[in-house]
Copies of this chain bind each other. A is one copy, B any other.
Amino acid sequence: MEELNELKDYTMDSYVVGIDVGGQTSKIGVVDARGDVLAQKVIRTDTYGTDADAYIKALAAAVKETIKDSGKEGLIRGIGVGAPNGNFYTGEVAFAPNIAWAANQAVPFAKLLSEEMGGIPVSLTNDANAAAVGEMTYGAARGMKNFIMITLGTGVGSGIVINGQVVYGHDGFAGELGHVCVVRHNGRQCGCGRSGCLEAYCSATGVARTAREWLEMSNEPSLLRDVDKISSKDVYDAAKEGDAVALKIFEYTGTLLGTAFSDFIAFSAPEAIVLFGGLARSKEFLTEHIEKAMNDNVLKIWKNKVKLVYSSLKESDAAILGASALAWEL
């Protein structure tokens, strides 16, 4: 409570903008110090081809409209952006495979947007780091100084907080925990070009891959055999019905996650690991297996000590809030 009051104090009558840049859409919101989203808007990310300038111009126009809608013109303290491959130090979005206008170049996103916005400062980081800041400012990690945020979406991302600060590393790219190796031999091909990465198994797409592999390897009956193009949501639905194959897929996924987490704990000894993202919604089938593998594999000093918690932010607002939280530090 005290912290919140402090936060309100120095931000009285000032507001921030949070922007979550995804491969398909970009979500914009005007946020107050309590984490309430006063106005929001969505534009496409993927209709500008390779023309980064055109996208930034359209984004700036939409941000201006959103600020107008919120009635807080002239009171915006800063803009925070979470974007794939966003670099906190350089303010660039560089070589992001899922965004055409940034796939083959480094776009000075923060600089361009700030110019279009008449000089309002812009802070940028990758989406998982933004989520970590959001969780620390408004969510499940409030009051924590040491935690690791793991985002389980199309990919697996991470934001690491140590001593109350996001870890950016020497070059701004720290926290790529989706790309630690969890299967050393004959591991699955990962989108990054290597094999055996955590992301290749424990993302939403990884879970769907596991389902397809397992159905092919056995004749065990499963509701999933009736599904045309299996998604992680289908696996969740089947598990809900008690489908044995679906339940085993979550056991496998949770066990790999927990095993990986035990190595993360040896690194930074966090108070908690915070899970976020689409696949985290399957927590009823994952938690037990993650916790078991994590506690089976850590050093004694950490057994049953590190909390596993789930994001407490309203899902639709979480990405905007995470990005906006960056702007308070500007």
Contact = CB atoms under 8 A, between A and B. Distances in A.
B170 A269 contact: yes
A169 B193 contact: no
A173 interface: yes
A168 interface: yes
Given A167-B162, A184-B184, A267 B299 contact: no
A184 to B, nearest CB: 6
Contact of A177 (B172, B192, B266, B271): B266
Chain A at the B interface: SS class: loop
A194 B297 contact: yes
A268 B171 contact: no
B267 A267 contact: yes
A145 interface: yes
A238 interface: no
A267 B174 contact: yes
A181 B259 contact: yes
6 contacts: A160-B267, A170-B270, A171-B301, A177-B267, A179-B266, A183-B184
Contact of A174 (B175, B259, B268, B297): B268
The 3 lowest CB-CB distance pairs between A and B, nearest first, are A169-B269, A174-B269, A170-B271
A174 B192 CA distance: 29
A193 B165 CA distance: 33
Contact of A171 (B168, B180, B194, B269): B269
Contacts of A300: 192-193
Interface in A134-174: 145-146, 160, 162-163, 165, 167-174
A168 B266 contact: no
Interface in A193-227: 193-194
A299 B179 contact: yes
B146 A170 contact: yes
A301 to B, nearest CB: 6
Contact of A181 (B175, B263, B301): B263
Nearest to A178: B266
Nearest to A144: B170
Nearest to A165: B163
Contacts of A169: 146, 162, 268-270
Contact of A192 (B165, B179, B299): B299
B267 A175 contact: yes
Nearest to A267: B267
Contacts of A179: 266, 299
Contact of A162 (B145, B162, B173): B162
A176 interface: yes
A168 B181 CA distance: 24
A305 interface: yes
A48 interface: no
Nearest to A196: B297
Contacts of A271: 170
Interface in A284-298: 297
A167 B297 contact: no
